């Protein structure tokens, strides 16, 4: 019976597989095999024994169950892998397994291999999300809607600009992950406390060969562990991705509010919104994104606490990392894919968009009127105060903003009725929004 929701509720199978025990074991065996080949290449062990180790360093032979059995006796996870692999290699080759290495040479390098596998999928997901956002930006670059600041109606904007802003943010995440990769996807073969003493004068060459074999970068210097600032940076990058998704989902949730109703999640034919209220159409996927983003952010905080370890190493990072790395990676991938579907399936209510755009009775166009008055010769501060006074009167006394404008003699000196009506049209006041969206689409594609 499952305990953690990652086991059966959240996460894609191909991503969970990266962090499952068998793959984690296989990555450790891959490192052990690469070490044996490097040892043979520098003349430390016979090539035939390295070939044997490489052939047997497979989860087909070294079973998770056997590793766990050994660990239950000796209480050391890496040494359990070493013994299980040695058993498969026989006495001759087995005596060279793990030669010169320390536990974190294996586990930290294996972790980099897992991250390498995961990051490839992560970048694919980010690209899909960016494309989904850019499509909405293109489709809605001329869909004029009310802009909101402090949750109050401000001036018009476009839905295309909203989505273009999100797409640009996603591109920055792509850039961050690609930049982080050179610091994250590294391994080490430095031995106890990092001096490479067990490798004698061949340590630097062995490390170089192992990492080249595995397709990883190599630490420049290290102690017994790869320094955790690298991993914390990555976890913070995942948290940033999660918070962008949180931001997008929060906006969708707000726009789906009954009082606004401009945009909503797609709702399936047989979907149930509430166990007691048959009419409900709740934004459950957006809420799920927002909720799980909190877990990813919290895990990033834990990763920061893993940076300061005692002296050349301690084990305080190990236990939380067994939880936070799989959890953050699987959940980030999951909410990314939920968000892709969410963006692709959005439903726009154009009547509600138009209704809300005109809800203030034209008062949202006060800035435009101020600009028009200044263009005709009125001072900017004078125009601002004049329109503020008229807008407050319209609000407080529930009078027509347009009527007050038309009747005002000071405004009449500068603008005629036709010009006032043109200035009150929200669709005439979106500035370069369309051009900005088109430029973003061109740049990001």
Annotated catalytic, 4?
A: no
Of 407, 406, 369, 372, which Cα lies nearest the Cα of 388?
Answer: 369
pLDDT reported for residue 1: 66
Of 353, 341, 211, 363, which Cα lies nearest the Cα of 286?
Answer: 341
pLDDT at 247 over 70: yes
Q: What does 300-320 look like in DSSP terms, one character per residue? A: HHHHHHTS--STT--STTHHH
DSSP H helical ranges for 256-359: 284-305, 318-344, 350-357
Prediction pTM value: 0.94
The top-level CATH class assigned to 363-423 is mainly alpha
pLDDT reported for residue 399: 95
Give the tens place of pLDDT for each residue, 369-426. Answer: 999 999 999 999 999 999 999 999 999 999 999 999 999 999 999 999 999 999 999 9
Of 136, 408, 415, 405, which Cα lies nearest the Cα of 255?
Answer: 136
What is the spatial distance between Cα 213 and Cα 303, in angstroms, rounded to a whole number? 29
What is the spatial distance between Cα 62 and Cα 71, in angstroms, rounded to a whole number? 13
pLDDT reported for residue 8: 79
Q: What are phi and psi of 183, to 5 degrees?
A: -95, -30
For the chain, percent of residues with pLDDT exceeding 90: 92
pLDDT at 300 over 80: yes
Which entry of 274, 319, 395, 400 is annotated as an active-site residue?
A: 274
Residue 201 DSSP label: G
What is the spatial distance between Cα 57 and Cα 86, in angstroms, rounded to a whole number? 9
Locus of tokens 């370069």: 432
Beta pairing class for 144-149 and 152-158: antiparallel
Which entry of 72, 75, 150, 311 is annotated as an active-site residue?
A: 150
CATH number of the domain at 102-353, out of 1.20.200.10, 3.40.1010.20, 3.20.20.70, 3.40.190.10? Answer: 1.20.200.10
Specify the higher pLDDT residue, 270 or 199. Answer: 199
CATH number of the domain at 14-99, out of 1.10.275.10, 1.25.40.10, 3.30.70.260, 3.40.50.2300? Answer: 1.10.275.10
Contact assessment for residue 415 and residue 373, using Cβ atoms and an 8 Å cutoff? yes
**Average pLDDT value for residue range 156-178:** 98
pLDDT at 308 over 80: yes
pLDDT reported for residue 282: 80
pLDDT band at 281 (very low <50, low <70, confident <90, very high): confident
Annotated catalytic, 274?
A: yes
Give the tens place of pLDDT for each residue, 188-243. Answer: 999 999 999 999 999 999 999 999 999 999 999 999 999 999 999 999 999 999 99
Give the tens place of pLDDT for each residue, 63-113. Answer: 999 999 999 999 999 999 999 999 999 999 999 999 999 999 999 999 999
158 three-state secondary structure: strand
What is the spatial distance between Cα 320 and Cα 299, in angstroms, rounded to a whole number? 9
pLDDT reported for residue 156: 97
Indicate the average pLDDT of the chain.
Answer: 95
**Average pLDDT value for residue range 350-357:** 97
pLDDT reported for residue 29: 98
pLDDT reported for residue 3: 78
**Average pLDDT value for residue range 132-153:** 97
Of 114, 123, 109, which Cα lies nearest the Cα of 178?
Answer: 123
Task: For residue 149, list its beta bridge partners.
Answer: 152
pLDDT band at 266 (very low <50, low <70, confident <90, very high): confident
255 three-state secondary structure: helix
Residues ≥6 apart with Cβ < 8 Å to 417: 406
Annotated domain spans of the chain: 14-99, 102-353, 363-423
């Amino acid at each position: 019976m499952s305990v953690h929701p990652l086991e059966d509720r959240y996460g894609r199978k191909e991503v969970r597989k990266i962090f499952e025990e068998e793959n984690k074991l296989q990555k450790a065996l891959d490192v052990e095999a690469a070490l044996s080949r490097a040892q043979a290449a520098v003349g430390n062990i016979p090539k035939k024994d390295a070939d044997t180790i490489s052939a047997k360093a497979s989860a087909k032979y070294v079973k998770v169950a056997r590793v766990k059995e050994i660990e239950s006796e000796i209480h050391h996870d890496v040494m359990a892998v070493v013994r299980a692999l040695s058993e498969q290699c026989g006495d001759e080759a087995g005596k060279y397994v793990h030669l010169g290495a320390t536990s974190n040479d294996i586990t930290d390098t294996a972790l980099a291999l897992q991250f390498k596998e995961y990051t490839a999928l992560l970048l694919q997901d980010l690209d899909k999300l960016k494309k989904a956002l850019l499509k909405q930006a293109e489709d809605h670059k001329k869909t004029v809607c009310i802009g909101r600041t402090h949750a109050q109606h401000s001036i018009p904007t476009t839905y295309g600009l909203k989505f273009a802003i999100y797409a640009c943010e996603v591109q920055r995440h792509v850039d961050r992950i690609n930049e982080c990769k050179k610091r994250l996807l590294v391994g080490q073969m430095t031995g106890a406390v990092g001096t490479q003493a067990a490798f004698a004068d061949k340590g630097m060459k062995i490390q170089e060969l192992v990492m080249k074999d595995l397709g990883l970068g190599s630490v420049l210097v290290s102690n017994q562990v790869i320094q955790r600032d690298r991993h914390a940076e990555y976890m913070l990058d995942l948290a940033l991705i999660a918070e962008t998704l949180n931001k997008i989902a929060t906006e969708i949730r707000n726009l789906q509010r009954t009082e606004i109703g401009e945009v909503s999640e797609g709702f399936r034919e047989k979907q149930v919104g509430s166990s007691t209220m048959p009419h409900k159409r709740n934004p459950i996927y957006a809420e799920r994104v927002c909720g799980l983003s909190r877990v990813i952010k919290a895990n990033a905080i834990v990763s920061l606490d893993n940076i300061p370890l005692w002296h050349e190493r301690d084990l305080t990072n190990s236990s939380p990392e067994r939880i936070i790395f799989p959890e953050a990676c699987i959940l980030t991938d999951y909410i990314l894919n939920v968000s892709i579907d969410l963006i692709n399936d959005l439903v726009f209510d154009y009547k509600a968009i138009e209704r809300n755009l005109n809800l203030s009775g034209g008062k949202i166009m006060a800035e435009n009127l101020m600009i028009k008055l200044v263009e005709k010769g009125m001072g900017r501060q004078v125009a601002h105060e004049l329109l503020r006074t008229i807008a407050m009167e319209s609000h407080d006394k529930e009078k027509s903003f347009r009527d007050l404008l038309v009747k005002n003699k000071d405004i009449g000196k500068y603008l005629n009725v036709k010009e006032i009506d043109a200035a009150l049209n929200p669709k005439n006041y979106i500035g370069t929004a369309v051009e900005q969206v088109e430029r973003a689409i061109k740049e990001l594609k």
